[in-house]
Amino acid sequence: MLVDLTQYLWILWLALVVLFIVIELLTLEFTFLMIAAGTLIGGLGANLLGWPWWLQITLAAATAGLLIFTIRPVLLKTLEKGGDPAKSNIDALYELGGRVTGAFTNGIGEVKLDNGETWTARIDDLSPTPTIPVGKRVAVAAIDGAIAVVVPEPPKSGTTEPRANSKSPRKEEK
């Protein structure tokens, strides 16, 4: 006597739902949650209605695909909405300004960034100037390990940097 295994197919659908939910808990990206919902709604739902196994698989796949392409993007967008837009760690240092505090010798110097941190620095290879004097403003172009790669900060529009000799030269009167 042969046993009809299709009558126990509902157990397979439930096991798949549990497996997909466990995988979702490990990945946290809503993909396997949508597959689990498709399996539950399409696969198990069709099984409980007594539909054939091939239709159960088709409905499970179609429902999961539909959920992945419609509901998942909305969930991801909603999840990102509450995120902190502030940059942190090394990302916060890029394009941060600072001032040269230690003279550059052999390409290595010291800068104090606007966030108060003091970094060992080197001048970027693409910098228009080969050296930057102490006190000059710089911007971080990159981070190379524990060294900030800097370039001279361009002057802000509408302002000029103070000159060492602020007096304008006068013509001597005869």
Domain chopping of the chain, boundaries: 5-78, 91-152
**Per-residue pLDDT tens over the stretch 45-89:** 999 999 999 999 999 999 999 999 999 999 999 888 877 677 777
Residue linked to tokens 């013509």: 171
Q: How many CB atoms lie within 10 A of CB 55?
A: 14
For the stretch 5-15, pLDDT in tens is 788 999 999 99
* pTM exceeding the 0.75 threshold for the entire prediction: no
Locate 90 and state its tokens: 């090394």
Long-range contacts of 18-22 (CB under 8 A, 24+ apart): none
Q: Using 50, 70 and 90 to split pLDDT, how confident is the model at 164?
A: very low
**Helical spans, DSSP H, in 4-160:** 9-27, 31-38, 45-48, 53-81
- Rounded to the nearest integer, the mean pLDDT of the chain is 85
Class of 91-152 per CATH?
mainly beta
